[in-house]
Amino acid sequence: LASNDRNQEILGQELKVGNEIVAAMRKHIGSESVQDMACGALWDLALNDRNKEILGQELKVGKVIVAAMRKHPGSEPVQENACGALRNLAANARNKEILGQEFKVGKEIAAAMRKHTGSESVQKYACRALGNLAGNDRNKEILGQELKVGKEIVAAMRKHRGSESVQEDACGALMNLAVNDRNQEILGQELKVGKEILAAMRKHPGSEAVQRRACGALRNLAGNNARNQEILGQDLKVGKDIVAAMRKHNGSERVQVIACSALRHLAGNNARNQEILGQELHVGEEIVAAMRKHSGSEGVQEKGCGALWKLAINDRNKEILGQELEVGKEIVAAMRKHPGSNVQKQACRALENLACNATVTKILRDQGAREAV
């Protein structure tokens, strides 16, 4: 019944069936089938935003879900449906806090992943739940530093290399966890998750979702962490795989946005990465192609200009970008197309670095950069 949108409203808000589900779970805690079906029902009900609030905040269903997971650790269906329910509930900001900090559901999710390493469905929904929970700053710390869930995510990626959905959701979880500075160190340097992300990208080149989330994870891992930038850019040469993703999915605005952002963070203030990206991998060509293909996308233009800004710190890159690729044309076009957006800031940064070269400065003037600024 709860797979229907209108039914979700009726069941969750008019009939308040959450009360009966919670009562059944408490009354029959020892029944695997009751816990399995109840968690599945909560999963579907929690697709509705108002239901999320009722279930998560008024009825505190996280408590009975945790009880079910603890009582039936060996039941794959219970663990799968419980993770699915937690994932949907955790899409709500307040629920994230309750689930992650009051009920510490990350501990149960990690236990499920360890117990059911061979279950693709458990691993998939567990990663999805972790990804949503990690949207909260304090949860990032608990999950990444106290529970070290990165270990379970890495294990899932290795065990289910051929599963597109596991790789996608695992990369999504890593992407959210890696927003935290300490998590960047743990994930990038202790657990070496960069290797697993690259393996996912190479195994599933045709998956837009895997490539997008993998690029997002690489972007956040690089962050402002100098050591991660070295590992990713120089040891693993991830720029090559980001370029491959951009070429394979040149029509995907979302891939281009996040790939350009990843290139910007990889280039950072790392001189060697700037050389590799600009001169060995020629990423400027891919950025220009993305900006031309998606001229109407504010995100692509902003992130493209941001990547050019960082690449143009390098003197040789200034020449390649400004003289050979004539990126000034794309930057000026972006500024004209998106006058009221953050594109202007990133574009001006890129022009500033490019204009440190006298020859490029003349080219930029001829392309209308002075007027655009």
Q: What is the pLDDT of residue 141?
A: 98
pLDDT along the chain (373 residues), means of 10: 93 96 98 98 98 98 98 98 98 98 98 98 98 98 98 98 98 98 98 98 98 98 97 98 98 98 97 98 98 98 98 98 98 97 98 97 97 96
Q: In this structure, what is the dihedral angle of CA atoms 120, 219, 178, 271, given to the nearest 10 degrees?
A: 130
- Domain segments of the chain as ranges: 21-158+165-184
- Tell me which amino acid residue 342 is: N
Give residues with Cβ within 8 angstroms of 79, minimum separation 6.
Answer: 69, 72, 73, 112, 115, 116, 119, 122, 126
Superfamily the domain 21-158+165-184 falls into: Leucine-rich Repeat Variant (1.25.10.10)
How far, in Å, CA of 166 to CA of 163, rounded?
Answer: 5
283 touches 243 (CB < 8 A): yes
